[in-house]
Chains A and B, each alone.
Chain A
Amino acid sequence: MKGHYGEYGGQFVPETLMYPLEELEAAYEAARQDPQFHADLDHLFRNYSGRPTALYFAERLSRTWGGPKIYLKREDLNHTGAHKINNCLGQGLLATRMGKKRIIAETGAGQHGVATATVCARLGLECDVYMGEEDIRRQELNVYRMKLLGARVVPVSSGSKTLKDAINEAMRDWVTNVRTTYYMLGSVLGPHPYPMMVRDFQSVIGRETRTQILETEGRLPDVLVACVGGGSNSIGLFYDFIEDRQVRMIGVEAGGRSTKLGDHAARFAGGKPGVLHGTFSYILQDEDGQVVPTHSVSAGLDYPSVGPEHATLHDMGRVEYTAILDDEALDAFGELSRLEGIIPALESAHAVAQAKKLKLPGDRIVVVNLSGRGDKDVNEVARLRGNL
């Protein structure tokens, strides 16, 4: 069957959406086999987004922690400040090839919304971004950035007024305007072919990391660490290393305030298999199969389901999944800022906090994916932690 990762993935959508999914699948397949598409994407990666991003040895951090050598894959140095642009450039080129003029997207923290609005400005496409009212309130800066870039930000007032509800509303728009509109989904979620396509566009992270670590260290890393919301930055780092069995991989979910249902977004700790937003994966749900509210200090990790490829990597034991609490992430946010002069996104701070917990000798190599920069989170951190 199409688009399955073990028993996970698939296409669980209202019938009306099967037509655009089939159309998208065919268009992506054609693009994937076209050298010109790859050349165009590579050009934008290099000259627009600033790739390859650095693989940086965090010397002071490593020394202070007294454990393994910590390298940071600097996705925060991308144009717009996060890995999200990798996927948006790929999908933007694809939408252009398909002749679509209108783009819709969902956003939580606003990073994917900003990346989408940026690419639409660059490619001359109309752009509507759905965003929960609660997130609009929390992420004022990104809302203004999207508007500056010429996008329309559509407030979503249903449900919990966050990312999950923004996806619901984007899907309702898509099912209505299916013949003219391209849905630029922001993570390795949703029905096939999105999880595969978004992974392919993000896998540049892992390919670069391999080349860079072989150049500097002459060998593969021992451990890869990345945060997992929907799971696109982590799968982007992991994908090229899956066959290298000696490389340990750790995906970090949001542990939130506690392990109580509703207090976190740790799908592998508290969820079970089910269907949300078109794909079969782990979901945080109650005994009636209703999706439950989640909590995380980081809006980008605050989502009740997870990409289906992660679900199968979890079940086969290839990737370990752990959870980091809000407070641990906030500590790591401060520590990386002070020790390396790098303010990480709160999402990425979860991965940094996990790396600190690794008790490994000093000759071991750990790569942490620094998926985004933390400017967007400064106000929230100030609110939570007070004046310095």
Chain B
Amino acid sequence: MTRIEERFERLRREGRKAFIPYLTAGDPTLEITRDLVIALDKAGADVVELGVPFSDPIADGPVIQRGTERALAAGSGLRKVLGLGAEIRKQSQVPLLLMSYYNPLFNYGLERLAKDLAQSGFDGILATDLTVEESDEYSRLMRGAGLNTIFLAAPTSSPERMKKIAQASSGFLYAVSRTGVTGERQELDSDLQDFLQALRKHTSVPIAVGFGVSRPEHVRSVWQSADGAIVGSAIVREIEKNIGKPDLVERVAAFAGWLSHPDEKSLPV
């Protein structure tokens, strides 16, 4: 069992849901990302998604694009992110998911990557632009190294595709809440419930929802119908707002704590 599977299993037993923050690794520096992961772990994160910055992030909205540019300027990239995983593991056992566009992964070499990810303390991997049709070799190697393979399901996925995606996913399944790129929204898509119900028919692995989840009430709403809520852009924006401040890590962790405790109303400042 990976740390991701253990965590979802424990949450299920306790009748709780997962809070999954996303960070672009190296935004604004690799050291701050390390400290953020450790602080998010303490603030109640159940899994942390670490994004590998890529030069051409076609699925990301402006907030994560800017985070990506900051991370690239700080010299981040796949090899650095592997080192970051090992650094985090010295201080934290929070489940870690590597998220990346496919090119850096393929360029590194999939066989070597599977081995190095496992050694660096990662528990799972998600490639944003890798469709299940193209993933046979990738999934075989990643799973062979004991990693979870997480795939995206979209509201536009046909029932046949949902089935294929569910079969290819382990650890959890990432449900994209709406069409479009990453980014905050005022309200979640009203069709989300139907989509999640359709998806549920095809899988017994936990389902986590991301894209647009940016407020405590979104987290609460997602928790009612799925097993986890993924928050990306809202956290990256909070990082952006606090760049240069000595207490950036504390502020972002407090913001994450506010998001993940949707029954407590006010944001601690």
Hey, which bits of chain A sit against chain B, CB under 8 A? 1-2, 10-16, 18-20, 22, 158-159, 164-165, 168, 171-172, 175-179, 272-278, 280, 283, 285, 287-292
Contact = CB atoms under 8 A, between A and B. Distances in A.
Contact of B58 (A1, A15, A168, A289): A168
Give 7 nearest A-B pairs by CB, closest first: A289-B107, A289-B104, A288-B77, A19-B156, A176-B180, A16-B154, A15-B154
Interface residues of B, number: 41
Given A11-B133, A15-B153, A16-B176, A175 B107 contact: no
A289 B176 contact: no
Nearest to B134: A10
A26 to B, nearest CB: 12
A207 B79 CA distance: 49
Nearest to A274: B103
A168 B56 contact: yes
A179 B156 CA distance: 9
Given A18-B154, A277-B58, A288-B77, 13 more contacts: A12-B102, A12-B130, A12-B131, A14-B58, A14-B176, A15-B151, A15-B165, A18-B157, A19-B158, A276-B56, A285-B103, A288-B78, A289-B108
B interface secondary structure, majority = loop
A179 B161 CA distance: 17
B59 A275 contact: no
B103 A275 contact: yes
B105 interface: yes
A165 B130 CA distance: 20
B61 interface: yes
Contact of B102 (A164, A272, A275, A287): A275
B79 A288 contact: yes
Nearest to B80: A288
Contacts of B77: 288-290
B23 interface: no
B59 A291 contact: no
A15 B107 CA distance: 21
Contacts of B104: 288-290
Nearest to A191: B131
A13 B79 CA distance: 24
B179 A178 contact: yes
Given A175-B59, A290-B55, A275 B129 contact: yes
Given A12-B130, A168-B56, A289-B103, A175 B180 contact: yes
Contacts of A168: 56-58
11 contacts: A12-B129, A12-B134, A13-B129, A14-B152, A165-B56, A172-B60, A175-B181, A176-B180, A178-B156, A274-B103, A278-B129
A274 B107 contact: yes
B102 to A, nearest CB: 5
B179 A175 contact: yes
A288 B153 CA distance: 28
Interface string B73-100: 0000111000000000000000000000
Interface in B42-75: 54-61, 65, 72
Contacts of B180: 16, 175-176
A291 B56 contact: yes
A94 B106 CA distance: 34
B103 A19 contact: no
B193 interface: no
B128 interface: yes
Given A274-B107, A285-B107, A288-B78, A13 B131 contact: yes
A277 to B, nearest CB: 7
A222 B100 CA distance: 46
A175 B154 CA distance: 11
B58 A22 contact: no
Nearest to B72: A290
A102 B25 CA distance: 37
A78 B172 CA distance: 53
Contacts of B72: 290
Contacts of A19: 154, 156-158
Contacts of A164: 56
A20 B165 CA distance: 17
A159 B55 contact: yes
A278 B129 CA distance: 8
A106 B130 CA distance: 23
A178 B165 CA distance: 20
B55 A16 contact: no
A158 B56 CA distance: 10
A179 B180 CA distance: 11
B130 A176 contact: no
A292 B114 CA distance: 25
A283 B103 CA distance: 10
B61 A15 contact: no
A100 to B, nearest CB: 15
B111 to A, nearest CB: 15
A291 B133 contact: no
Contact of A275 (B60, B106, B179): B106
Nearest to B101: A275
B76 to A, nearest CB: 9
Interface string B166-179: 00000000001001
A158 to B, nearest CB: 6
Contacts of B157: 15, 18-19
